Amino acid sequence: MTDAAALQQESVPMSKSTGRRTDMRSRGEPALWSLGGALAIGIIMILGFLALVFSNGVETFIPKPITVVTGIDGTVTAGEPFRSELFKPTPEDFAKASPDWQARIKDANGYANRTLYRMGNFDIYGEDFRWVPDFMAAKIEQPHGLVFVERMEWGPFVGTVKSIKVDGVERPFTTLDDTAFVKAHETARDRSKAIRKIERVGINDVNHALEQERLGLRKVELASGRNSAEYKDAEARLTGISAGLQQRYDALSADVQKLREINAGNTITLAEIGGREKTIEFSALVRAYAANDLSFAQKAGVYVSRWAEFLGSEPREANTEGGVFPAIFGTAAMTLLMVIVVAPFGVITALYLREYAQQGRLVSFVRISVNNLAGVPSIVYGVFGLGFFAYVLGGSIDALFYPERLPNPTFGTGGLLWSALTLALLTVPVVIVATEEALAAVPRSMREGSLACGASKWQTIKYIVLPRAMPGIMTGVILAMARGAGEVAPLMLVGVVKLAPELPVDGMFPFVHLERSFMHLGFHIFDVGFQSRNAEAGKPMVFVTTVLLIALVTLVNATAIVVRNRLKKRFAGSQF
């Protein structure tokens, strides 16, 4: 035996049962290690992605200290340190550095570090952020007394408080915890909420009533003509109602104007680090805190209040600040409506294909088509939804039931209903395939036993097959919900918008308005990340909204999984 043959024989393990040597490949070890390694890599990638998103999202609302950087050229920059990076200075910037810094940059192969500061004060500086190279900083400090002010418009303000005015009278200012400051701010915010309520409820009801009367007159005109007696009666009625509505509108507008005049007498004067002043109303002030003087409890209070605002209010500043409550509501409403549509249609289709249809080429062709539909790009469904649901079906509904509103469409444009139907069409193949597999897994003996006892086919399906297949059906519904909740491309064509002034549910009849456009968390992420005027300002909101979307999808799926597990326990003998 040669040395090579002996070495090869020694490398082949010996079987314990037969004492014969076997090739390792025949025992599956290489495939086992390959599959295990691929699984480990996949898990590491998922965990890494989640860690990146959650770490950036959770720390978004943590209040950061304000740093004041005095440059070697005399410029002063005050703001929150946002992020740092290495860069290669230009020859002009390199020449401004001190000899010591020039030597350091040369030792680092021509690279230096720079820090991005979030300055705020966009209405004064015309920019939100500023890069400051380390070699350009003569002094870096975090002085006391600087405040970070979040405003309804123009973003945050970084500087100091010069004075406050309460009810038109100048008041001495001490700290942000001063009773006069806190009370004036709370009162002004309450007045702003009252103004918003009057505008959104009172004035909106007046405008809605006036619009309904106008549409009623238009409907009479289409039915009887402008010269008919019915039209003249409706016109006279509109004139009388309009007068009363106008009086009510004027009274509400007067109330709003009075509250705004009071707010105008309650102001705060701020000064940026260079001394330029800015006076704003307390009603435009969201929150203010001394960034460099916060205790741990105060930081926690700011953090919690920011989360509360994020979850319960509307967005502001081109969606880069404020809350996402309309997007949360729109995402949940659209997903639930989609499930209500896709679950029965998917289950009924699968029942027919598996239990009733005669198996043959036609049924095989239908199954192949359903499987192929699952691979169609989602944007194609969006185009179909816009063309068929909105333009064809919605346009027909407008022509039949809302002719007085034309040419302004009611259902003939994107809305919550068409978005849900489009995503139901997109996800129905998943439900069909999962339901067919669940039905096929129910033992045939159960069907035969039920039929032998005198039950009809439908009774067998209803009481024997469906209950035992329900866990598998729920699996398909869960997958459909997960995919539908995260889709964005088709929604951009059939109903989702950047900012929806009204929710699909309100206090006006018929209370649920499926024709309205809506906001969606997925589109909100796209809009803030790629369509905001400042990508850096929108980046924190992208991460925190992503965290919220993942949490919402997880919550919905977890609820469905709990229901599925309970169904499993009821039928422990089932294969699901």
Measured at the alpha carbon of residue 120, what is the angle toward residues 114 and 126, in degrees to the nearest 5? 90
Q: Which range is least confidently modeled, 45-59, 410-424, 494-508? A: 494-508
Taking only the tens place, the pLDDT of each residue in 148-205 is 999 998 989 999 999 899 888 888 788 888 888 888 899 999 999 999 999 988 999 9
Q: What is the pLDDT of residue 26?
A: 58
Least confident of 55-64, 218-227, 531-540, 546-555: 531-540
Query: pTM of the entire structure?
Result: 0.87
- Find the mean pLDDT for residues 243-265: 93
Model confidence pLDDT, tens digit, residues 426-439: 999 999 999 999 99
State both tokens at 55: 């770490």
Residues 6 or more apart whose CB falls under 8 angstroms from that of 392 comprise none
Confidence of residue 13 (pLDDT cuts 50, 70, 90): low
Q: What percent of the chain has pLDDT over 90?
A: 53
Please report which confidence band the pLDDT of residue 475 belongs to, taking 50, 70 and 90 as the band edges.
confident
Q: If residue 81 lies in a helix (H) or strand (E), which one and from where to where?
A: strand 76-87
In the sheet with 112-118, reading across from the earlier edge strand, the strands are: 129-133, 112-118, 76-87, 67-71, 137-141
pLDDT value of residue 269? 92
Q: What is the CA radius of gyration of the chain?
A: 33
Q: What is the pLDDT of residues 91-123, one digit of tens each?
A: 998 998 999 999 999 999 999 999 999 998 999
Q: Is the pLDDT of residue 224 over 60?
A: yes
pLDDT score, position 567: 75
- 121-163 pLDDT, tens digit each: 999 998 889 999 999 999 999 999 899 999 998 989 999 999 8
The distance from CA 253 to its chain's CA centroid, rounded to whole angstroms, is 34
More confident residue, 12 or 380: 380
Contact criterion met (CB below 8 Å) for 564 and 478? yes
Supply the pLDDT for residue 25.
57
Our measurement of the distance from residue 91's CA atom to the centroid of its chain's CA atoms, rounded to an integer in Å, reads 44
- Give dist(CA 123, CA 154) in Å, integer: 6
3-state secondary structure of 279: strand
Predicted pLDDT at 325: 93
> Mean pLDDT, to the nearest integer, of 234-245?
90
Rounded CA separation 551/485 (Å): 12
Segment 457-469 shows an average pLDDT of 90
CA distance to 134, 238, 247, per residue, from 212 (Å): 64, 10, 17
Position 3 scores a pLDDT of 52
* Torsion 363-364-370-372 (CA) sign: negative
Nearest to 230 by CA among 243, 241, 217: 217
Q: What is the predicted pLDDT for the residue at 557? A: 80
Mean pLDDT of 347-361: 89
Please give the pLDDT value at position 571.
64
Q: What is the mean pLDDT of the chain?
A: 88
Q: Cα(433)–Cα(373) distance, rounded to whole angstroms?
A: 11
* Greater model confidence, 13 or 171: 171
Give the pLDDT confidence score for residue 576 in this predicted structure: 38
Lowest mean pLDDT among 269-278, 341-350, 363-372, 567-576: 567-576
Q: At 85, is the secondary structure helix, strand, or coil?
A: strand
DSSP character at residue 136: G
- The whole-number pLDDT of residue 198 equals 94
Residue 7 clears pLDDT 60, i.e. is over it: no
**Half-sphere exposure for 257 (CA within 13 Å, toward CB):** 6
Residue 167, by phi and psi: left (phi above 0), alpha (psi -120 to 50) or beta?
left
* 318 Cβ contact partners less than 8 Å away, ≥ 6 residues apart: 532, 533
Residue 468 has pLDDT above 70, yes or no: yes
Q: Please, what is the end-to-end C-alpha distance for the chain in angstroms?
A: 57
* DSSP secondary structure string for all residues of 312-378: HS-EETTTTEE--HHHHHHHHHHHHHHHHHHHHHHHHHHHIIIIISPPSHHHHHHHHHHHHHTTS-H
pLDDT of residue 270: 93
CA-to-CA dists, residue 469 to 167, 440, 460, 562, 573, angstroms? 69, 9, 12, 16, 12
Give the model's confidence band at 6: pLDDT under 50 very low, under 70 low, under 90 confident, else very high: very low
pLDDT tens-digit map of 25-81: 555 577 778 888 889 999 999 999 999 999 999 999 999 999 999 999 889 999 999
User: Residue 574 has what pLDDT?
Assistant: 45
Share of the chain above pLDDT 70, in %: 94
Give me the residue label for tokens 């965290």: 547
Residue 70: the pLDDT is 94
Whether residue 163 contacts residue 173, with contact meaning beta carbons closer than 8 Å, is answered with: yes
Chain centroid to CA 468: how far?
36
pLDDT at residue 231 is higher than 80: yes
Task: Please tell me the total number of residues recorded for the chain in this structure.
Answer: 576
